[in-house]
Amino acid sequence: MANVDTDQIIPKQFLKSVQRTGYGKYLFYNWRFDIDGKPRSDFVLNDPRFQRREILLARSNFGSGSSREHAAWAILDYGFKVIIASSFADIFYDNCFKNGILAINLSETEVDYLFSVAYDQEFEINLALQTVTVNRRVLSFVLDPSRKRKLLEGLDDIGITLKFESQIADYEKRSPNPLGY
């Protein structure tokens, strides 16, 4: 469905930790489980064919609502590495990349096609070529080069900074500290 917000992705009652792990079991909780905590047979992620998948297929405006980073943490902790949708909420989109999740924007028509074959076909994602291949059909996606590099190298913002650790140390040795410490 369209307009899936972060409270649907990870309900607020489960936001009791600042750790990045442990949230996967609560992903889409109100849709996956009934009031007694039993799995709903009619929810797609409870279908054995889709368990342990790494690609989440979604509709437009995925991740709207609050800016909680927990939504990306829950998706990653559940095991998804890629989300494909026709559009994403801006903050959620940024949070995906900050947490190592590839968020792919495709057209509504392309997403409709993927939904039409999702039950029968496997998807192949090639980050280097920026393609999604399914049933010999190749769909191309656009990605900012710096985000692509971070994902390909398995780095986050801190990891990128640490690549320059020796240059930073050299600079600090050469430059007087204006604060005097």
CATH number at 98 reads 3.20.19.10
Q: Is 156 helix (H, G, I), strand (E, B) or coil?
A: coil
Number of domain units in the chain: 1
Of the candidates 101, 110, 171, 118, the one whose C-alpha atom is nearest the C-alpha of residue 140 is: 110
φ and ψ of 74, to 5 deg: -65, -40
**Residues paired with 82 in a beta bridge:** 55, 102
List residues bridging with 83 in a β-sheet. 56, 103
Q: Is residue 165 part of a domain?
A: no
Per-residue pLDDT of the chain (181 residues; tens, 9 = 90+): 899 999 999 999 998 877 888 999 999 999 999 999 999 999 999 999 888 899 999 999 999 988 889 999 999 999 999 999 999 999 999 999 999 999 999 999 999 999 999 988 999 999 999 999 999 999 999 999 999 999 999 988 888 888 888 888 888 888 877 665 5
Are 83 and 103 contacting, i.e. CB atoms less than 8 angstroms apart? yes
Is 108 within the bounds of a domain? yes
Please state the length of the chain. Answer: 181
Q: For residue 69, what are the domain limits?
A: 6-143
